Amino acid sequence: MKIILSHDVDHLYWQEHYFKDLYAPSTVFRNTKGLLKGDIELKLYFKRLKCWGRLHRLPELITFYNDYNIKANFFFGMNNALGLSYNYKQSKQWIDKLLDKKHQVGVHGIAFNDKESIIIEYNRFKELSGLKSFGIRTHYLRMAKNTHQLFETQNYIFDSSIEQIKKPFKLNAMWIIPISIMEVTLVNNAQLNQNIELWKANTIDRLKLSEKENIPYFVVNFHDLYFSNNFPVIKQWYIWLIDLLKSKNYQFINFEDAVVELNQSSF
Ligand SMILES: [Zn+2]
């Protein structure tokens, strides 16, 4: 089993949310509830309520991966919906920077059942990145009956929008490589859940199950936003996870190389 690390870039800056969506009020609401319930301390509460400046943690992750000598995949939105509100052109500088550091990038799909919108997002990303082939993961893992069919027709080389311990499978030329673990579904109320032992125990369970099911790729989805001291437990968990995987001598691979392997294999 090899490890694929991936990141959905849902946010760039606080400003993109002002007067556009409910991200700021829902952040205040969620954390006030957490504070009153005693889930988070006052200091952390105030830190999280600073609703301006940068939200993404791409420079921190680039440095982290540089130190660990690991390459990862990053998905960027090419349109807006459900709290993803940045202008797609703003992702250009980060796409360039990540490609320069030999990471891989793909589309964080907004459209999932409308052919015209899928074409627009594909073309925007193709132009912005200069890439000829790439994959996709939908925002909030949205999926309709015909989503994979539409993505395949659009020439995406893989989709990773399903969360399930399951082997990759193919639809014509496109591989569907499921997510094995992601922070927001690993424990209840991930942003407020400070029980690091629970985070670790659930992770070990997921790893064991994946080994038992003999899946070739353990796909981690981690929202870059959480690689921050505003989310000390989630950040600590992620660093622990990478250390654990390294100590167990797992090999890291990215989606594109996995697709090459899959095409050569007898799956
Ligand atoms: Zn997303």
pLDDT digits (tens, 9 = 90+) for 97-131: 999 999 999 999 999 999 999 999 999 999 999 99
140 CA → ligand 1 middle, Å: 5
Give the pLDDT band of residue 265 (cuts 50, 70, 90). confident
| Separation between Cα atoms, residue 207 and residue 13, nearest integer Å | 34
266 CA → ligand 1 middle, Å: 32
Question: Which residues, by Cβ under 5 Å, contact ligand 1, an ion?
Answer: 8, 10, 139
265 CA → ligand 1 middle, Å: 31
CA atoms within 13 A on the CB side of 17: 20
Q: What is the pLDDT of residues 2-47, one digit of tens each?
A: 999 999 999 999 999 999 999 999 999 999 999 999 999 999 999 9
- CATH number of residue 190's parent domain: 3.20.20.370
| Separation between Cα atoms, residue 20 and residue 215, nearest integer Å | 41
Residue 176 makes CB contacts below 8 A (sequence gap 6+) with: 148, 158, 159, 160, 162, 168, 169, 170
136 CA → ligand 1 middle, Å: 11
Asked if pLDDT for residue 266 goes beyond 80, the answer is: no
Burial (CB count within 10 angstroms: exposed 0-12, middle 13-18, buried 19+), residue 91: buried
173 CA → ligand 1 middle, Å: 25
Asked if pLDDT for residue 218 goes beyond 80, the answer is: yes
Mean pLDDT for the stretch of residues 245-254: 97
Strand, coil or helix: 13: strand
Secondary structure letter of residue 250 according to DSSP: P
Instruction: Write out the two tokens for 89.
Output: 């052109």
Portion of the chain with pLDDT greater than 70, in percent: 99
Query: Domain count of the chain?
Result: 1
List the domain range (segments joined by +) for residue 219: 2-264
